[in-house]
């Protein structure tokens, strides 16, 4: 553990991955601020993360959420940079992002930025911790923002269950506290006690924020010496009051809170079982990895596993296991099981089977071969880890600097290497019936509970359970063949790199036939033993109607279901796979170590070739799909608005209500008849990349063609030319403002949402960069005005939108305080104000924004998955502009400020004759009267109300599609 005086710590060399070319250095400033410097000459982005060893556990009684509120307030201004929001504005103008989070025992602040703005950004960042202003003017606005954030969380089942667990713990322990805060805890209650929240905030900051309990990670392009000089200069003035590191001893759960069965009512459809035990935190034994070992086995999905048995019985659709809510003093081991309706009726049997599996682990003892295999997988994963975005990397390191010795700051608990049966057994012994907590979630408990959790209003009841009761459940549970997993044949052993890969800068079309196209992009950048394969099947019958769309969805889930017991071993070994339903059919994705990828590919293909519908699994998957459609009405209003917008714009899409209506009538026989029909006509588009040679890629597509299109009884015939599906988008009429008012689907949700969309053009390099530059210049200003100043809603976005190559921009705002029609007017007022700002913008500020966007486009892909995502996007849409970044940079270099103003006046300006806009207004129950007004109000000139989406869509012109079958070799 990293304990004691920081200067007395003997620092061994920081352990890093064999493939990691970055340089690292630990330094400690005279004020005791401990820092990790990371130098990466190849990086396009720089980043920083400051972790402060104080969090929600330190909230004063009666001021719940104060630590979280402080996190919000530090963003506003400092004595050195007093202009409100100047930090966020600077970060945004230089191509960056910033955010923060408050956890139980720490608060983390972080940002990234283009390299040319890094030094000044660090100076602004440091002032949070030197002289923040925390102005009185901002205090009330940000309390409202915290309250709005809490309002958005109230209907999240995951949060409701989490807070119920906290509520059912000792009121004397800080784990019990409500950490988010709201209007009640930060304004109403403090005022009732004569407290000034801002004064308490400043007092809290002065008491807890000290350099000696802070840990900083800096990720830059400069060498370590230059980074060190910069950091020493910027952060040396953070005060050090030698604050002790806070420790919150004792267990949060006393005997009163153990051996309980809690029945709780969720918001969404479905049933969940959460079984929890207090355990010794793994951080104290991270080299031995007891929780990693146990979660590997309990979470396993192969034959003989707990999940495989529950799945066979038709009782579960998902299972996860592992450590949660971990601190230095206490922790929990948690098993989450998603239940079917039948599983809900067999809850006691499921708990019995879980304890049977735990008993099996006790009887078998701790197995060295399993630990060694797990250790080997972890070691391979660590040493061949993909590079991730610097902002994510620094945030992954800084919170752990307090917990681990410096040499393990990068490794953390990812490399279990000390085999210790006693330590694993110690944690295994904790998973007993004596200290278990069972949380059982189902809407079937509605009206049968007698208590309510105070912060989220979750209805629940508590029953006592005993060891003898659980023993009865164990004895009465089915006598299934639970056993340990087999040895993993997918663990790679060949990590060699292909020496004769082509030096192709962009994907190459290797072959094209009536059956398929094959794109190939060898690895010329990452030099890792990994590959990426995407296989997309276009099947016109798959999207002919709501029924066929639902059947295709069920088919892909069943396919994954049949593969799971065998292919799960591949995912454990770092070779992941996915099969999912698409608009035009379905697609398969394989990504990971290339050594045994071909074996997995052949297994995936074989499973579809021999596909047979199993009635018991069909029933389970149908039930799961039904609940997913039913739960769409419980999505947040901003998510509903996005779905309505897509339904309005995208041709040949079906409302989810029609899918849901089709589901009850579909039976096993329907799917059995449908699959051969769906596959009767198909076209395959394949993208291969990474550590693969040309002949390996060609061999894959040849195998696919042989299985599906050739042989003695081919399943598929090639598509007719007319069957190649086109993704087409509605072309809104110029000079018209369309709006679609609709009531929110969840009557319990008080929040409303607006999606204000401006459609601009079909993919064009110069128009693309103008639109992107507008978003770049307006994004932070919109957030500050609409969210921070006007307090319209915590969720406030301005972002680009791309529908199959048709580009536009959208404002998304979710609010409880104002209705969507009002917010729409505020968006237009913002655009009027921004027009003035654009006219008055100094040329150097315009150039700075252009250069920041160029810098963003110059960013290199960090890993194979990122690169593949970009190229597959071009292929799947049909634009095939693999040189997009270079071409758009060239367009940006030619762009003048006058051209940008002309673009705004033509496409974005309020009331512009050529403008095309669409407002989707989702009304929550707190704005029901405003909904009726909006629906019946007389139309303004050039305003068009959409009453029926499908009628509207069918009456509109469509943009042409980029997608076709005209690719030339």
Q: Are strands 45-52 and 107-114 parallel, antiparallel or unpaired?
A: antiparallel
Q: Are strands 916-923 and 736-743 parallel, antiparallel or unpaired?
A: parallel
Please give the Cα distance from 552 to 542 (Å, whole number).
6
Q: Which helix (H) or strand (E) holds 371?
A: helix 368-383
Residue corresponding to tokens 């060399």: 13
Are 460 and 265 a contacting pair, CB within 8 Å? yes
Query: Please, which residues have CB within 8 angstroms of residue 159's CB and are 6 or more apart in sequence?
Result: 153, 456
Closest-CA residue to 584 (of 425, 898, 804, 283): 804
Eight-class DSSP state of 186: I
Rounded (10°) CA dihedral 459, 460, 461, 463? 180
Phi/psi-derived region of residue 703, left when phi > 0, alpha when psi is between -120 and 50, beta in every other case: alpha
Distances from the Cα of 128 to the Cα of 143, 146, 235, angstroms: 19, 19, 10
Beta bridge partners of 6: none
Please give the Cα distance from 337 to 334 (Å, whole number).
10
Are 439 and 458 a contacting pair, CB within 8 Å? no
The catalytic position among 71, 790, 867, 888 is 71
Are 936 and 741 a contacting pair, CB within 8 Å? no
Please give the Cα distance from 85 to 88 (Å, whole number).
5
Q: How many CA atoms are closer than 13 Å to the CA of 117, on its beta-carbon side?
A: 27
Q: Are strands 107-114 and 260-264 parallel, antiparallel or unpaired?
A: unpaired
Please give the Cα distance from 333 to 214 (Å, whole number).
29
Q: Specify the 3-state DSSP secondary structure of 899.
A: helix
Burial class (CB in 10 A: 0-12, 13-18, 19+), 968: exposed
Burial class (CB in 10 A: 0-12, 13-18, 19+), 925: middle
CA 143 to chain centre: 26
Tokens for 452? Answer: 């309510």
Q: Are strands 516-522 and 508-512 parallel, antiparallel or unpaired?
A: antiparallel
Please give the Cα distance from 594 to 577 (Å, whole number).
13
142 is catalytic: yes
Other C-beta atoms lying within 10 Å of the C-beta of residue 715: 17
Helices (H), 531-653: 546-572, 597-609, 615-630, 637-649
The catalytic position among 105, 142, 149, 453 is 142
Are 149 and 185 a contacting pair, CB within 8 Å? no
Terminal alpha carbon distance of the chain = 60
Q: Are strands 806-815 and 795-803 parallel, antiparallel or unpaired?
A: antiparallel
Q: % helix / strand / coil in the chain, to the nearest 5?
A: 45, 20, 35
Counting DSSP H helices and E strands in the chain, the numbers are 32, 25
Strand order in 214-220's β-sheet?
23-28, 34-39, 214-220, 45-52, 107-114, 97-102
The beta-strand segments (E) located in 480-544 are: 508-512, 516-522, 530-538
Phi/psi-derived region of residue 385, left when phi > 0, alpha when psi is between -120 and 50, beta in every other case: beta
Spell out the SS3 assignment of 325-336. CCCCCCEEEEEE
Are 807 and 728 a contacting pair, CB within 8 Å? no
Active site residues: 71, 142
């Amino acid at each position: 553990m990293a304990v004691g005086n920081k200067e007395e710590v003997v620092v061994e060399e920081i352990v890093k991955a064999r493939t990691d070319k970055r340089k690292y250095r630990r330094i400690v400033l005279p004020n005791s601020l401990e820092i990790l410097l990371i130098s990466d000459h190849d990086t396009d982005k720089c980043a920083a993360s400051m972790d402060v060893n104080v969090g929600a556990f330190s909230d004063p009684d009666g001021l719940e959420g104060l630590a979280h509120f402080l996190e919000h307030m530090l963003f506003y201004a400092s004595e050195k940079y007093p202009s409100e929001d100047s930090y966020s504005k600077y970060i945004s103008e230089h191509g960056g992002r910033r955010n923060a989070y408050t956890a139980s025992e720490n608060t983390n602040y972080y940002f990234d930025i283009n390299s040319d703005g890094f030094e000044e950004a660090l100076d602004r960042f440091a002032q949070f911790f030197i002289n923040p202003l925390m102005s009185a003017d901002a205090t009330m606005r940000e309390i409202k923002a915290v309250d709005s954030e809490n309002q958005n969380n109230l209907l999240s089942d995951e949060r409701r269950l989490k807070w119920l667990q906290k509520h059912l713990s000792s009121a004397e322990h800080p784990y019990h506290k409500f950490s988010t805060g709201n209007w009640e805890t930060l304004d109403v209650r403090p005022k009732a006690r004569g407290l000034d929240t801002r004064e308490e905030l400043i007092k809290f900051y002065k008491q807890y924020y000290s350099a000696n309990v802070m840990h900083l990670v800096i990720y830059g392009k400069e060498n370590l010496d230059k980074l060190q000089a910069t950091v020493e200069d910027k952060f040396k003035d953070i005060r050090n009051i030698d604050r002790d590191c806070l420790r919150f001893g004792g267990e949060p759960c006393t005997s009163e809170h153990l051996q309980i069965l809690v029945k709780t009512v969720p918001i969404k459809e479905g049933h969940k079982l959460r079984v929890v035990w207090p355990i010794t935190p793994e951080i104290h034994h991270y080299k031995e990895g007891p929780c990693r070992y146990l979660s590997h086995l309990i979470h396993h999905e192969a034959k003989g596993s707990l999940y495989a048995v529950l799945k066979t019985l038709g009782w579960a659709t998902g299972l996860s296991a592992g450590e949660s809510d971990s601190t230095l003093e206490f922790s929990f081991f948690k098993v989450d099981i998603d239940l079917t309706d039948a599983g809900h009726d067999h809850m006691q049997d499921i708990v019995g089977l879980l304890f049977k599996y735990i008993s099996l682990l006790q009887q078998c003892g701790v197995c060295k071969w399993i630990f060694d295999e797990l250790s080997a997988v972890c070691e391979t994963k660590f040493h061949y880890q993909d590079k991730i975005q610097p902002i994510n990397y620094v945030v992954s390191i800084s919170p752990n600097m307090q917990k681990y010795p410096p040499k393990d700051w990068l490794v953390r608990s990812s490399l279990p290497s000390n085999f210790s049966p006693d330590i694993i057994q110690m944690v295994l012994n904790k998973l007993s019936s004596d200290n278990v907590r069972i949380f059982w979630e189902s809407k079937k408990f509605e009206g049968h509970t007698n208590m309510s959790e105070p912060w989220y209003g979750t209805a629940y009841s508590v029953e006592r359970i005993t060891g003898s009761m659980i023993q009865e459940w164990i004895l009465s549970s089915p006598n299934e063949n639970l056993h340990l997993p087999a040895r993993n044949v997918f663990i790679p052993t060949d990590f060699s790199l292909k020496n004769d890969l082509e030096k192709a800068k962009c994907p190459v079309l290797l072959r094209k036939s009536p059956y398929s196209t094959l794109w190939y992009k060898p690895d010329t950048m990452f030099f890792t033993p990994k590959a990426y394969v995407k296989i997309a099947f276009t099947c016109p019958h798959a999207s002919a109607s709501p029924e066929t769309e639902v059947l295709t969805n069920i088919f892909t889930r069943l396919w994954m279901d049949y593969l799971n017991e065998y292919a799960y071993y591949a995912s454990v070994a770092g070779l992941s796979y996915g099969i999912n339903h698409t608009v035009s059919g379905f697609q398969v994705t394989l990504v990971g170590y290339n050594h045994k990828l071909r074996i997995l590919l052949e297994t995936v293909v074989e499973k579809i070739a021999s596909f047979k519908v199993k009635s018991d699994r069909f029933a389970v998957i149908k039930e799961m799909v039904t609940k997913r459609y039913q739960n769409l009405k419980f999505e947040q209003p901003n998510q509903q608005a996005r779905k309505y917008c897509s339904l309005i714009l995208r041709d040949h899409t079906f409302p989810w209500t029609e899918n849901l209506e089709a589901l009850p009538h579909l039976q096993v026989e329907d799917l059995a008849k449908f699959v051969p029909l769906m596959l009767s006509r198909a076209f395959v588009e394949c993208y291969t990349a990474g550590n693969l040679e040309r002949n390996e890629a060609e061999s894959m597509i040849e195998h696919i063609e042989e299985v599906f299109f050739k042989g003695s009884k081919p399943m598929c015939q090639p598509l007719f030319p007319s069957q190649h599906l086109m993704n087409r988008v509605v072309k809104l009429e110029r000079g018209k403002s369309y709006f679609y008012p609709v009531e929110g689907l969840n009557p319990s949700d008080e929040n409303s949402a607006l999606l204000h969309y401006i459609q601009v053009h079909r993919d064009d390099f110069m128009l693309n960069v103008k639109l992107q530059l507008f978003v770049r210049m307006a994004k932070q200003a919109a957030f500050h005005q609409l969210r921070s100043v006007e307090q319209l809603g915590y969720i406030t976005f301005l972002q680009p939108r791309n529908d199959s190559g048709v580009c536009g921009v959208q404002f998304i705002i979710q609010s409880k305080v104002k209705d969507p029609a009002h917010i729409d007017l505020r968006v237009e007022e913002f655009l009027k104000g921004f027009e003035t700002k654009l006219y008055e913008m100094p040329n150097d500020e315009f150039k700075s924004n252009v250069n920041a966007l160029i810098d963003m486009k110059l960013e290199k892909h960090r890993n194979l998955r990122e690169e593949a995502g970009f190229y597959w996007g071009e292929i799947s849409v049909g634009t095939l502009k693999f040189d997009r970044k270079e071409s758009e940079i060239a367009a940006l270099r030619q762009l003048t400020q006058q051209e940008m103003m002309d673009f705004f006046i033509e496409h974005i300006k309020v009331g512009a004759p050529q403008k095309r806009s669409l407002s989707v207004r989702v009304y929550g129950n707190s704005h029901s009267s405003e909904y009726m007004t909006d629906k019946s109000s007389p139309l303004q000139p050039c305003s068009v109300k959409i009453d029926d989406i499908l009628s509207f869509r069918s009456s509109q012109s469509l943009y042409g599609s980029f997608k076709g079958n005209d690719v030339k070799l």
